[in-house]
Amino acid sequence: MSARAESLSTTASDLISLTKPRLSSLVLITTAGGMFLAPGPLDTVRALVTLLATAGTVGAANALNCYWERHSDQFMARTRNRPLPSGRMEPSVALWFGISLAAVSLPALALGANVLTAFLGLIALLSYVLAYTPLKARTSAAMLVGGVPGALPPLMGWTAVTNQVDAGGFALFAILFLWQMPHFIAIALFRKEEYAAAGLKSVPLERGDESSRAQIVFYLVALIPMSLLPFQLHIAGTWYLAAAVTLGLSFLGLGAWGFFRRLGKPWARQTFFYSLIYLTGLFAAMTLDRVPRG
């Protein structure tokens, strides 16, 4: 491979890494879940355009986040090798890459799905980049703000089919919003020193470990009844109900175990990994036991 070809390959790889592919893949799974669960027909072309445009919008938000946090990323082990903090890429490249992705993806959402879905995508982008990202250095309450763009993708999948925000779409949004809280707090617990070095606020740093464990339990208590809404709204059936109860009680049991035993980083890491299992299992059960619509 020539030096020029190798350079182009490295640049392309770095641009892709700015979109945070692993995080984006989770977003696409929940978006696809929202589309599949929504009542009404959805042709293949609209589904593909919606997913691609959503991926572009999420990628734009992540690239702009990388641009904004390029200095603090130097102090965290999981981010210091990204293109900007490592010095492999000029900040202006990441900035214009993010802006260009958004400029293409949001109109594509409006044309491929509908204006409502594109509007929700715009809210997700702006709230993530202009609210959540700067607030992370000021207050742990940024977690609640960041929960909004994180919970919008399944609602966007829903509105791509229904062209309206209704109880079913809101239920998916609420589940994702509440799920993110124990997920984020668990990460902040076992990466507390890195957050402190980067100058980022978190619940463990501002409130302490005891409060963090208590908040995990609080949000899990709220999540369990919310996860039952798809059954109550006739989106999914009794097998989903059984899975939601089992997964939810297991999650709550893990959280309560850490709270009462005052456990530390190993437990927080286990809680983080179980949160991924929980969300995957919940959406898998929801899609497999979807109630057919006439």
Based on the fold, state whether residues 22 and 128 are members of the same structural domain.
Answer: yes
The region of weakest confidence among 10-19, 35-44, 104-113, 175-184 is: 10-19
According to DSSP, the residues that pair with 290 across neighbouring strands are: 236
Query: pLDDT (tens digit, 9 = 90+) per residue, 41-70?
Result: 888 888 999 999 999 999 999 999 999 988
* pLDDT bracket for residue 73 (50, 70, 90): confident
Q: 82 with 202, same domain?
A: no
Q: Number of C-alpha atoms within 13 angstroms, CB side, residue 228? A: 11
Tokens of 266: 């190993």
Residues 112 and 234 in one domain: no
- Residue 289 covered by a domain: yes
Mean per-residue pLDDT of the chain? 92
pLDDT of residue 85: 87
Question: In terms of pLDDT, which residue wins out, 21 or 224?
Answer: 224
200 lies in the same domain as 108: no
The reported pLDDT for the residue numbered 7 is 57
- Residues 126 and 171 grouped into a single domain: no
The answer to whether position 261 is within a domain reads yes
Pairwise CA distance, residues 179 & 228, whole Å? 13
87: three-class secondary structure by DSSP: coil
Same domain, residue pair 249 and 170: yes
Residues 115 and 231 in one domain: no
**98: CATH:** 1.10.357.140
Residue 155 lies in a domain: no
Cβ 44 vs Cβ 132: under 8 Å: no
State the chain's maximal CA–CA distance in angstroms: 60
Mark whether 23 and 93 lie in a shared domain: yes
What is the tally of structural domains in the chain?
2
Domain assignment present for residue 232? The answer is yes
Residue 293: inside a domain, yes or no?
yes
Structural domain includes residue 154: no
- In sequence order, which residues have a C-beta less than 8 Å from that of residue 256 and are 6 or more positions away? 217
The verdict on residue 149 lying in a domain is: no
Residue 105 and residue 171 in one domain: no
Q: Indicate whether 129 and 86 sit together in one domain.
A: yes
What was the pLDDT predicted at 69? 86
Residue 40 has pLDDT above 90, yes or no: no
Instruction: Identify the residue with better confidence: 11 or 57.
Output: 57
pLDDT in tens, 143-186: 999 999 999 999 999 999 999 999 999 999 999 999 999 999 99
Which whole-number Å values give the CA distances from 59 to 16, 121, 252, in the listed order? 8, 12, 32
State yes or no: pLDDT of 256 exceeds 80.
yes
- The CATH number of residue 250's host domain is 1.20.120.1780
Mean pLDDT of all residues in 187-199? 91
Residue 148 lies in a domain: no
Q: Which amino acid is at 289?
A: D
- Residue 143 is predicted with a pLDDT of 95
Residue 287 and residue 210 share a domain: yes
- Return all residues near 37 (Cβ < 8 A) that are at least 6 apart: 157, 158, 168, 172, 230, 235, 236, 286, 287, 290
Categorize the per-residue pLDDT at 4 as very low, low, confident or very high, splitting at 50, 70 and 90: low
Q: 289, 239 in Cβ contact below 8 A?
A: yes
Percent of the chain with pLDDT over 70: 96
pTM over 0.95: no
Residues 20 and 102 in one domain: yes
pLDDT for res 5: 47
Nearest to 184 by CA among 163, 153, 205, 162: 205
Domain that holds residue 238: 166-294
